[in-house]
Amino acid sequence: MNLDGSGNQYRYKKVEQELSRHIEAGDLLAGDKLPSLRQMSRSLQVSISTVSHAYEELEKRGLIESRPRSGYYVRSELRRIPTPEIKTVQKPEPHTVTKNKLILTALETVGNRDILPLGVVCPSNELLPTRQLSKIMSSVIRDNPLETAGYETIPGNLDLRRQIAFRSVDCGSDITADDLLITTGAMEALYISLRTLTRPGDLVLIQSPSYYCFLQLVENLGLRAIEVPSCPENGINPDRVAEITRTFDIKACIFAPNFNNPDGSLTSEDRKREIVKNLAERKIPLVEDDVYGDIYFGDSRPGTLKSYDREGGVLLCSSFSKTIAPGYRVGWLAPGRYLEKALEIKATTNVSCVSPTQMAIARYLRESLHDRHLKKLRAAMKEQMDKMRTEIGLSFPEGTKVTNPKGGSVLWVELPEGKDGVDLFFKAREEGIGIVPGIVFSPQDVFSNYIRLSSGAPWSEKIQSGIRRLGELAAM
Amino acid sequence: MNLDGSGNQYRYKKVEQELSRHIEAGDLLAGDKLPSLRQMSRSLQVSISTVSHAYEELEKRGLIESRPRSGYYVRSELRRIPTPEIKTVQKPEPHTVTKNKLILTALETVGNRDILPLGVVCPSNELLPTRQLSKIMSSVIRDNPLETAGYETIPGNLDLRRQIAFRSVDCGSDITADDLLITTGAMEALYISLRTLTRPGDLVLIQSPSYYCFLQLVENLGLRAIEVPSCPENGINPDRVAEITRTFDIKACIFAPNFNNPDGSLTSEDRKREIVKNLAERKIPLVEDDVYGDIYFGDSRPGTLKSYDREGGVLLCSSFSKTIAPGYRVGWLAPGRYLEKALEIKATTNVSCVSPTQMAIARYLRESLHDRHLKKLRAAMKEQMDKMRTEIGLSFPEGTKVTNPKGGSVLWVELPEGKDGVDLFFKAREEGIGIVPGIVFSPQDVFSNYIRLSSGAPWSEKIQSGIRRLGELAAM
């Protein structure tokens, strides 16, 4: 182990993380005895009190337990929790979507500050640069009272589009400001894309599972959906996509290759390239949701499908809702060769986006505050997710599986066979805990024993006891 | 004449307004001699310099001319300009709408600050409470950094909905906060309404002329439109509506009874009541656009169609874009009995509206600044419109007609037979003047010799010479 602690006060955290990683990796098994404080202090070259602090934290999290006069042990209840398998849909078939009522019930918790936000996929405000952004917003408003109050153009604020275009280099794209359309969050980008590409009755190809708001949109636009299985470990399989597009008349695909919500799956770069190539040959447009692309836990940002697009057939949707401020509702669409039609849809939906929020985010990005913030955010999101996974392993009934995503902020939990996610959703809501039942992530009922948990809020005793209570409810 | 001038420096304005009213009413005819400065000063009990200042202003505006050693005369070129007649559509017929390309060209001038804004229907920022609002926005942001950055609920900010519900009493409605859904401007309210009520291929009834964005939306949603003529003087005729709804299977009506854009027509309260009653009997929902309702020039606010609605069949759409800040994009929808479906559409379009702008407008309204502002705004809008009408009378070719609206901020100009509005639009745009050709206000080509001018900007020499130049171009 190599721990060059930067800053004394956080040194214990590094020890804690290092140890929990070994426990989770199975290097230390349930019942194993941990090295004594003295041994550990010597081998890590940190003080005894640092190790002691770390052990206390691990005990609080339920990973280890102290046995009187004997030392610390990995908790015997601790078990390695497996990840869910790919859920194969027997035969891909078109489905009309009819989950709207249930989804709307689940959505009622959005913005409701009285409910423990395990259902809301968004880093909580404490992790976002809200104070910096507020300062910037105030000065933007003060410096530009007229411009902030006036209409923006239909494509959106030019400064903002330039900043987004500039940053798209990170994910391998070469879009320019003129390729972009600012939207009211990524949801609007997706909505504009589907209105642009489809008519009622058309068939679209989606991942299974898929973000329920996509399904709701598919339902509301009168479309039919066909599903390609998403593998929690490897994402979308290009061969399956090719098969389905050969058999059915698909008008558009909707894929989230980077940390798909809810299964957190990451599709590899090779697979991305192949998917884009195949679809381009068949002239099938592809709507890409990349809202989690910046929240990767690995060394480098995963590429977008858009970055492999040579024909303008990929419509990239993203936003700053998961990284800067959800309430600012600033998203964007790079609609490729469909720009003209997309602008028409934007104009007839709500003309143009809110001016001051666009200007504030443009200035925030220009001041180069974002990269440092993202780095911190990624570390925090990873830590929170790790802690939540561990707690699920401790609290949920035997037979539970949970994903181990390489980014994003959701965990996809498979409850033991026979358990019902909707049932758990209603029970949890009654106790003020917001989760989302798995069934709403597919037009079919294949995910009835799944739930999705968001790890977007900083780890706290409140969250920990929420997860514990969920585990109890799941076991009932 | 009775002029109790309040504040010396604006006394001349009152003299100017009084005289221009008499000229426009025809009490003083072209070529008539005006009273001398001394006579006028005596009869109005104001100073000679005040009268002199007023005469100078009237001369600048081209209403009167001074003849050396003789005094001031009403200009001989001055003529009373008639209002356009109702444009009867021979036989009401369903039409598919195909004006999108042309409309989009016209819309390109929105938000473009280099073009003389005679095409943009919005009071210019100088007339809006932008400085007050900026201050409020700054303090809202400072006081609530977390709340302004976080998601709002789907129906929107509760304080804001309460304020809007409270103010709806003015237009005769008794809606509550729970009846309301906040939208990204009134356009989104209209879009949500039509998505809620219709499916592609459905037939909707619209006014003729109608706001071109409505037509564009009708086109984009794959609907067909049938037109009921709008009379510049009296608005919508309930008998015609009844006739058409008996003959055709109308799924929804879209009416703007208060100062319809572009013809400025006001439908009387009796007619409103009858229209709502008839449609309720046939169970046909009615989408109402009331964005100009607060900009009335008479003594009291006209009622909404919603205020006569007992069955929840009226979907009221409005916004603060014309009265507070277009760039804040704060609108609302009172969707009556369609609330649940409307919330679904909102959620799948863009989840919820921008948080800080909603909070700022809620606080602005709570501080009771709005009524005083509206009073000033109405006076300014009336004055600007009067001046523009007069200038059109002076500058446009013989045979031109122009509306005389009782509110709103647009003039609907009928060019002499044979003149082409689209031609004038392109010529004007080349010279940096933004107008909108009449043809885009109907699915048919009946308004090919019309244009719409916005009088939303404070009267200035630049605007005056813009109108003059337009008149020259129209005469070519």
pLDDT at B8: 53
pLDDT tens across A355-387, in order? 999 999 999 999 888 999 999 999 999 999 999
The answer as to whether A287 is a domain residue is yes
As for how many domains chain A has, the answer is 3
Give the SS3 label for residue B227: strand
- H or E element at residue A255: strand A250-255
Query: Per-residue pLDDT tens for A410-435?
Result: 999 999 999 999 999 999 989 999 99
Choose the final residue of a domain: B353, B370, B387. Answer: B370
Provide the chain B residues 264-283 that lie in CB contact (below 8 A) with chain A.
none
Please judge whether B111 and A325 are an interchain contact, meaning their C-beta atoms are less than 8 angstroms apart.
Answer: no
Nearest CA in chain B to A329: B354
Amino acid in position B187:
M
Q: Over chain A, what is the mean pLDDT?
A: 90
Query: Are A226 and A340 members of one domain?
Result: yes
Distance from CA of B324 to the nearest CA of A (A): 8
Say how far apart CA B65 and CA A219 lie, in whole Å: 67
- CA–CA separation, A453 and A450 (whole Å): 10
Evaluate whether residue A200 is within a structural domain: yes
Examine residue B123 and state whether it is found in any structural domain, yes or no: no
> HSE-up of B171 (CA within 13 Å, CB side)?
26
Of chain A residues 105-124, which have a CB less than 8 A from chain B? 107-108, 110-112, 120, 122
Q: Contact, B181 vs B339, CB < 8 A?
A: yes
Q: Considering only A95-109, A280-294, B310-324, which range has the smallest mean pLDDT?
A: A95-109
Specify which residues B195 forms β-bridges with: none
**pLDDT 10s digits, B384-432:** 999 999 899 889 999 999 999 999 999 999 999 999 999 999 999 899 9
Percent of chain A with pLDDT over 70: 95
Q: Would you give the end-to-end CA distance of chain B in angstroms?
A: 42
A85 residue type, one letter: E
Residues of chain A positioned with their CB less than 8 A from the CB of B184: 184, 349-350, 353-354
Residues 234-253 of A with CB under 8 A from B: none
Give the pLDDT of residue A87. Answer: 76
Alpha helices in B74-203 (DSSP H): 100-107, 130-143, 145-149, 158-167, 185-197
Amino acid at residue number A17: Q
8 Å CB contact between A303 and A269 = yes
Closest CA to B328 of B320, B340, B337: B320
CA distances, B255 to each of A91, B204, B258, B397 (Å) = 49, 11, 9, 32
Q: Which whole number is the average pLDDT over A82-103?
A: 75
DSSP 8-state class, residue A165: H
Contact A328 B149 (CB under 8 A): yes
Does residue A362 sit at the B interface (CB-CB below 8 Å)? no
Q: Give helix B269-281 / helix B238-247 axis angle, nearest 10°.
A: 20
Residue B179 has pLDDT above 90, yes or no: yes
- Residue A367: count other Cβ atoms within 10 Å of its Cβ: 10
Mark whether A269 and A403 lie in a shared domain: no
Task: Give yes or no for A82 touching B (CB within 8 A).
Answer: no
Give the structural domain span for A418: 115-121+372-475
Query: Does A163 share its domain with A66?
Result: no
CA nearest neighbour of A459 among A6, A13, A9: A13
Residue B455 identity: S
B294: three-class secondary structure by DSSP: coil
Does B440 contact A at CB distance below 8 Å?
A: no
Mutate to test the interface with A, among B188, B349, B364, B440 (most CBs of A within 10 A): B349
Q: Is B385 within the bounds of a domain?
A: no
Is A253 a member of any domain? yes
Q: Which of residues 12-51 of A touch B (CB under 8 A)?
A: none
Q: Is residue A99 part of a domain?
A: no
Distance in Å, alpha carbon of A189 to nearest chain B alpha carbon:
8
Q: Is some CB atom of chain B closer than 8 A to the CB atom of A325?
A: yes
| CATH label of the domain that carries residue B27 | 1.10.10.10
End-to-end CA distance of chain A: 41
Same domain, A314 and A425: no
Q: List all residues 6 or more positions away from A254 whose beta carbon is below 8 Å from its beta carbon.
A: A190, A194, A204, A205, A206, A207, A210, A214, A286, A287, A289
Residues B352 and B214 in one domain: yes
A191 closest CB neighbour out of B108, B134, B348: B348
Q: What does the pLDDT look like over A208-240, one tens digit per residue?
A: 999 988 998 999 899 999 999 999 999 999 999
Say what angle helices B100-107 and A339-350 make with each other, to 10 degrees: 70
C-alpha torsion sign, points A386, A392, A398, A404: negative
Kindly state the average pLDDT of the residues B10-24.
83
Asked whether the beta carbons of residue B147 and residue A353 sit closer than 8 angstroms, the reply is no
CA dist list (Å): A94 to A53, A203, A461: 55, 7, 44
Tokens read off for A353? 């986006």
Task: Tell me which chain A residues have a C-beta less than 8 angstroms from the C-beta of B222.
Answer: 199
Q: What pLDDT sits at residue B125?
A: 78
- Beta strand B95-96 pairing with B224-231: antiparallel
Classified as helix, coil or strand, B189 is: helix
Contact B354 A328 (CB under 8 A): yes
Identify whether A100 is part of a domain.
no
C-alpha separations of B392 from A9, A87, B61 in Å: 75, 70, 11
Chain B: closest CA distance from residue A408 (Å): 18
A356:B328 CB<8 A: yes
Confidence of residue B116 (pLDDT cuts 50, 70, 90): confident
Does the pLDDT at position B3 exceed 60? no
- For residues B68 and B188, state if they share a domain: no
Please list every residue in chain B whose beta carbon sits closer than 8 Å to the beta carbon of residue A355.
Answer: 327-329
User: Over the stretch A447-463, which tens digit does the pLDDT of each residue have?
Assistant: 999 999 999 989 999 99
Alpha-helical runs (H) found in A170-260 = 185-197, 212-220, 238-247
Of B55, B74, B93, the last residue of a domain is B74
CB B95 within 8 A of CB B224: yes
Whether A361 and A378 map to the same domain: the answer is no
Q: Does A211 touch chain B (CB under 8 A)?
A: no
Amino acid letter, residue A355: S
- Same domain, yes or no, for B66 and B137? no
Question: What would the pLDDT profile of A148-164 be if each residue is shown by its tens digit?
Answer: 998 899 999 999 999 99
Q: Which of A370, A403, A420 is the last residue of a domain?
A: A370
Indicate whether A377 and A396 sit together in one domain.
Answer: yes
Distance CA A360, CA A138 (A): 9
Nearest Cα to A390, choosing from A22, A32, A68? A22
Residues of B in contact with A339 (CB under 8 A): none
Report CB contact under 8 Å: A195, B147: no
E strands, A51-106, are 64-67, 71-74, 95-96
Inter-chain residue contact A145 with B138, CB threshold 8 Å: no
Are A179 and A288 in the same domain? yes
Do the Cβ atoms of A150 and B327 come within 8 Å?
yes
Judge whether B147 is closer than 8 Å to chain A, CB to CB: yes
Only one residue has tokens 């929990």, namely A20
ipTM: 0.84
Question: Which CATH number belongs to the domain containing residue B259 in this structure?
Answer: 3.40.640.10
Considering the domain architecture, whether residues A354 and A301 belong to the same structural domain is answered as: yes
Residues 6+ positions from A32 with CB-CB distance below 8 Å:
A73, A74
Q: Who has greater pLDDT, A140 or B6?
A: A140
Q: Both A252 and A135 in a single domain?
A: yes
Q: Which residue, chain included where needed, has tokens 């009934």?
A: A397
Q: Are strands A286-289 and A250-255 parallel, antiparallel or unpaired?
A: parallel
Q: With an 8 Å Cβ cutoff, is B98 touching chain A?
A: no
- Chain A contact present for B458, CB below 8 A: no
Residue-averaged pLDDT of chain B: 90
DSSP string, A357-419: HHHHHHHHHHTT-HHHHHHHHHHHHHHHHHHHHHHHHHHSPTT-EE---SBSSEEEEEPPTT-
Chain A residues close to B185, C-beta within 8 Å = 350-351
Closest CB to A134 among B148, B151, B153: B148
Q: Which chain B residues are closer than 8 Å to A186 by Cβ?
A: none
Q: Which residues contact A245 (CB under 8 A, 6 or more apart)?
A: A205, A278, A279, A282, A284
pLDDT over 90 (residue B374):
yes
Please indicate, yes or no, if residue B33 is contained in any of the structural domains: yes
Q: Is the dihedral of CA A237, A238, A243, A248 positive or negative?
A: positive
Residue in A120, A329, A347 nearest the CB of B350: A329
Closest CA to B357 of A280, A252, A215, A325: A325
pLDDT of residue A16: 87
pLDDT digit string, tens, across residues A161-182: 999 999 998 888 889 999 999 9
Say whether residue B202 is in contact with chain A using an 8 A CB cutoff: no
